Amino acid sequence: MTGGGAHTASPAPAGEAPAPWRDAVCLADVERLAAAELPADVRDFVGGGSGAELTLAANRAALDRIHLLPRVLRDVSGCRSSATLLGRPVSMPVAVAPMGYHRLVHPDGESAGARAAARAGIPFTAAMLSSRPVERIAEAGADTWFQLYWLRDREKTLGLVRRAEEAGCTALVLTADVPWMGRRLRDVRNRFALPAEVTAAHLSASDGATAHRGGSAGSALAAHTGEAFSPAVSWADMERLRAFTRLPLVVKGVLDPADARRAEECGADAVVVSNHGGRQLDGAVPSIDALPAVRRAVGTGCQVLLDSGIRSGLDVLKALALGADGVLLGRPVLWGLAAGGAAGVEHVLRLLATELHTALGLAGCARVTDAARLGTAGAPERPRRTATGHEESDHR
């Protein structure tokens, strides 16, 4: 995938019947197609949030209220959306977010999404709770990041780090906002449990057995993570992890600037400003609202990424304008996977790239880095440094 160019509908290969997803012109179209493919309980698992889903809704509302101040008479004839994430080139400042159990929505699971990411030229994050092993995911050829939760069994956690290194992963993503799973009422009502054919590929059968037990106890996945994840994880554990591996380390789930600064001091190469897509603390601040202060809190040597609610290339541009170096894309990848397997995910990423290229040019940005100089309205104030070193506001 290149950094620019207009989107056209993906033609069906010769002899193959047209697929509905090929006519999708935005990610919302793909979401509707995926909803028609998925069982109701899986649809709820993918789309739901915690509690009353206040933060889930607030993520979208916060992004929608941000407006950009485009610049004019800027030569954008060579507009490019290419960027650098964790020191490696990418076609656009986007990585696929860690999400568990892709085989719930398509038999090819994470392998299909990783193939699509490789073709798109962006990183794919293999989740600790993925339904394909990291070795198989890495074979797809994408720049593969590996996500960690801190398990109660510390040696198993560090063993997975070594396994990720040996598989050729290029970064570790420590998810820091899940001492236990948020109370996701859709899953509780559905008594959601994994089907027999979907397993946590990085855990033993006994470690993941609880996730398959439905019944009257509510979400089997919440019970499983309660057994497996350590609520005692601390900054000291992050420091041990930093000393244990040379891979770039990303800390995901940061909203408070003080936590971002502490992560950088402990050796993080990047932080992800994230409320877990509205799936953890209901009532947490929208990620995009927390972004400017986090950006101010860390140095230029620590990249700042954002997730939770990204649904278009315009959303990516808004995040860049408010200080992000890039974003993680979550649920839309699962929508594409449900609607059309690897080709459906490719279509999602192609749409996103087209939208981002269009938005960059119309905002007067020839390069991704130009977005940081755009003004915004409807967002938290983001002071910036002038050439003289003084701060000025571009909240206009």
Which amino acids are annotated catalytic? 276
| Cβ contact 353:120 at 8 Å | yes
Residue type, 69: L
DSSP 25-58: -SHHHHHHHHHHHS-HHHHHHHH--STT-HHHHH
| DSSP-H helix ranges across the chain | 27-37, 40-47, 54-64, 109-120, 134-138, 154-167, 185-190, 220-228, 235-244, 257-265, 287-297, 313-321, 331-362
Q: Any residues with CB less than 8 A from the CB of 120 and at least 6 apart, and which?
A: 1, 91, 92, 346, 349, 350, 353
Pair of tokens at residue 154: 């510390």
Tell me the three state secondary structure of residue 252.
strand
Spell out the SS3 assignment of 352-385: HHHHHHHHHHHCCCCCHHHHHHCEEECCCCCEEE
Among 333, 352, 351, which Cα is nearest to 342's?
333
Residue pointed to by tokens 């400003």: 273
DSSP single-letter state for residue 229: B
